[in-house]
C-alpha cells in the first residue's frame, strides 16, 4: 500500500483514543478518519461523547491513550494552543463568543497572526452578511442565530486547515439553518470540516461521511448516502424520532 498517498488524502486520523475527565472514563475507544476537503459528521445520542471527541482532538481534554494524527504529525498529548497553531479551528457548542465585546472585537481577538482578520474579512462577510452590518454592536445585542454565525466566523479568521464545529444549528430557526448549511458547504471548499450535528436532515444533506459515537465508542462509519437508507442503524444509534421522520419522508417520496 502506498502510505504516502493515503496520508495525503486523510487530514485527520484518530486511532482508538481513551479520554478521562476526572475519574470518569468518557471515551472508551474512538477511531475516525477525516478525508481532506470533505465534510464529515459525527452523530450520536446526547451524552454519547461527541463534544469530548472534538475536545480530545484539539487537546482540551487530552486522551490518555491512542493516537491522533493531523497531517502526518502525532498530536495526542500536545497542548490545544499548539494544535490550534497547526491549523485546527474549533467552534465550541453553545455560541461561545465574548458577549460584552463587539462583533469586530470578537473577530479581531480570533487572530493568530496580525492581519488574519483583514485577509479573511471579505470571505467571512460574504458568508455571513449580518456580521458586516452589525460589526460595531456588542455580542449580546445579536440574535441567537447571529451569535452562532459569529462563533463560526471566529474560526475562519486564522488560516485553518481543519474546522471542528460543534452543533452549529443548535436553536436556529429553519431559515438560519439554511444559511448556516450554505456557509459550511462553502467553507468546506477551502478547508475540511468535522461537524457534530444533531439535526439529521441537515447532517445528511451536508456530509459525505458519517461517524456514529455511542456510549463513548465509535461504533459505525461510512458514507452518508448509505446511512440515510439504513433505517435500522438510524433507529439503533440515533433514536426513534429520526426513524419516524425518515419514515414520513420516505412515504412522502413514494406518493
Ligand atoms: N466535565 C465533565 N465531568 C464529568 N462528566 C462529563 C464532563 N463533561 C462531559 N461529561 C460526560 O461525558 C459524557 C460525554 O459528554 P459529551 O459532552 O462529550 O457528549 P455529547 O455527545 O457531546 O452530548 P450532547 O449531544 O448532549 O452535546 C456524558 O456522559 C457527560 O455527562
Ligand atoms: Mg455535545
Show the domain range for 22.
3-87+163-169+197-254
Indicate the pTM of the whole model.
Answer: 0.90
In a domain, 32, yes or no: yes
| pLDDT for the residue 8 | 60
pLDDT tops 60 at residue 1: no
Q: Does a structural domain hold residue 27? A: yes
Proximal ligand: closest to the CA of 52: 1
Domain count across the chain: 1
- CA 234 to CA 212: how far, in whole Å? 10
62 located within any domain: yes
The answer as to whether 186 is a domain residue is: no
How many Cβ atoms are within 10 Å of 135's Cβ, its own excluded?
Answer: 16
Give the mean pLDDT of 87-94.
93
The neighbouring-strand residues paired with 60 are: none
Alpha carbon distance 191, 165 (integer Å): 12
- Which residue puts its alpha carbon closest to atom 24 of ligand 1? 46
Residues lining ligand 1, CB < 6 A? 21-22, 24, 26, 44, 46-52
In a domain, 216, yes or no: yes
Q: 76 CA to middle of ligand 1, Å?
A: 20
44 within some domain: yes
Most informative mutation of 49, 54, 92, 238 for ligand 1 (most atoms within 8 A of CB): 49
Is there a domain that residue 139 lies in?
A: no
Residue 213 CA: which ligand is closest?
1
The ligand with the least distance to the CA atom of 60 is 1
Residue 182 domain-assigned (yes or no): no
| pLDDT at position 73 | 95
Order across the sheet with 39-43: list the strands.
88-91, 162-166, 192-196, 39-43, 209-214, 217-223
Higher pLDDT, 163 or 237: 163
Closest among 190, 126, 195 to 158, alpha carbons compared: 190
Q: What is the β-pairing status of strands 192-196 and 39-43?
A: parallel
List the beta bridge partners of residue 138: 102
Average predicted confidence (pLDDT) for the chain: 89
Q: Work out which ligand 1 atom sits closest to the CA atom of 53.
A: 18
Q: Are 153 and 128 in contact (CB under 8 A)?
A: yes
Amino acid at each position: 500500500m502506498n502510505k504516502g498517498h493515503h496520508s495525503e488524502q486523510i487530514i485527520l486520523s484518530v486511532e482508538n483514543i481513551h479520554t478521562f475527565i476526572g475519574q470518569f472514563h468518557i471515551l472508551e475507544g474512538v477511531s475516525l478518519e477525516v478525508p481532506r476537503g470533505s465534510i464529515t459528521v459525527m452523530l450520536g445520542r446526547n451524552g454519547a461523547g461527541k463534544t469530548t471527541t472534538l475536545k480530545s482532538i484539539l487537546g482540551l481534554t487530552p486522551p490518555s491513550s491512542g493516537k491522533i494524527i493531523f497531517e502526518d504529525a502525532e498530536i495526542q498529548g500536545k497542548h490545544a494552543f499548539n494544535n490550534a497553531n497547526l491549523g485546527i479551528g474549533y467552534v465550541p457548542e453553545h455560541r461561545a463568543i465574548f458577549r460584552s465585546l463587539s462583533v469586530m472585537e470578537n473577530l479581531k481577538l480570533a487572530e493568530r497572526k496580525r492581519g488574519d482578520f483583514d485577509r479573511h474579512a471579505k470571505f467571512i462577510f460574504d458568508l455571513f452578511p449580518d456580521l458586516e452590518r452589525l460589526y460595531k454592536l456588542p455580542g449580546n445585542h445579536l440574535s441567537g442565530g447571529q451569535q452562532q454565525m459569529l462563533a463560526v466566523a471566529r474560526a475562519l479568521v486564522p488560516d485553518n486547515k481543519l474546522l471542528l464545529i460543534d452543533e452549529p444549528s443548535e436553536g436556529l430557526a429553519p431559515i438560519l439553518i439554511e444559511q448556516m448549511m450554505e456557509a459550511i458547504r462553502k467553507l468546506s471548499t477551502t478547508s475540511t470540516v468535522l461537524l457534530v450535528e444533531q439535526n439529521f436532515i441537515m447532517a445528511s444533506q451536508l456530509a459525505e461521511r458519517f461517524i456514529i459515537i455511542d456510549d463513548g465508542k465509535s461504533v459505525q462509519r461510512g458514507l452518508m448516502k448509505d446511512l440515510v437508507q439504513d433505517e435500522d442503524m438510524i433507529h439503533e444509534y440515533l433514536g426513534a424520532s429520526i426513524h419516524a421522520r425518515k419514515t414520513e419522508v420516505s412515504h412522502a417520496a413514494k406518493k
